[in-house]
């Protein structure tokens, strides 16, 4: 496959319990939904019935926050850009930042895999 095909092709894995995973962007973005039927509209269900994960077993591209967050760590809850201070140094991301950016799986992971009391999504 060429680069454009790898970037735009998505694969769906149907699991025996009725859930599913859609894998996209060169195998790096994993969209897990508790029911396969939610995958086609996963953004609508993000944080309640669907969750976004990242998978970067190797990386040869430009260094970024993704490298330290994902490389050689298996499948991890997705976190996009991180907050930086005025000098460009990474600073701590708060739960409110995770909620605002809709990185709900990461918020649950940081709360010992339980839904936080202040979790903003209802299901």
Between 122 and 11, the higher pLDDT residue: 11
The token pair at 103 is 């990185």
Between 74 and 52, the higher pLDDT residue: 52
CA atoms within 13 A on the CB side of 106: 22
Using pLDDT thresholds of 50, 70 and 90, give the confidence band for residue 6: very low
CA atoms within 13 A on the CB side of 27: 7
Measured distance CA(111)–CA(39) in Å, rounded: 25
27: alpha, beta or left, given left = phi > 0 and alpha = psi -120 to 50?
Answer: left
**Sheet (strand 29-33) strand order:** 11-14, 20-24, 29-33, 50-55, 75-77
Domains of the chain, by residue range, sit at 3-110
Using pLDDT thresholds of 50, 70 and 90, give the confidence band for residue 63: low
Global confidence as pTM? 0.76
Taking the CB of residue 45, how many other CB atoms lie within 10 A of it? Answer: 19
Using pLDDT thresholds of 50, 70 and 90, give the confidence band for residue 68: low
Q: What pLDDT sits at residue 81?
A: 60
């Amino acid at each position: 496959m060429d680069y454009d095909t790898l970037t735009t092709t998505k694969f769906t894995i149907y699991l025996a319990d009725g859930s599913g995973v859609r894998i996209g962007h060169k195998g790096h973005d994993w969209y897990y939904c508790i029911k396969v039927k939610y995958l086609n509209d996963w953004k609508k269900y993000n944080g309640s019935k669907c969750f976004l994960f990242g998978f970067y077993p190797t990386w040869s591209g430009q260094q970024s926050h993704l490298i330290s967050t994902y490389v050689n760590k298996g499948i991890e809850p997705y976190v996009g850009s991180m907050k930086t201070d005025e000098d460009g140094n990474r600073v701590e991301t708060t739960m409110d930042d995770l909620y605002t950016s809709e990185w709900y799986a990461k918020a649950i992971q940081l709360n010992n895999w339980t839904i936080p009391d202040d979790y903003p999504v209802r299901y």
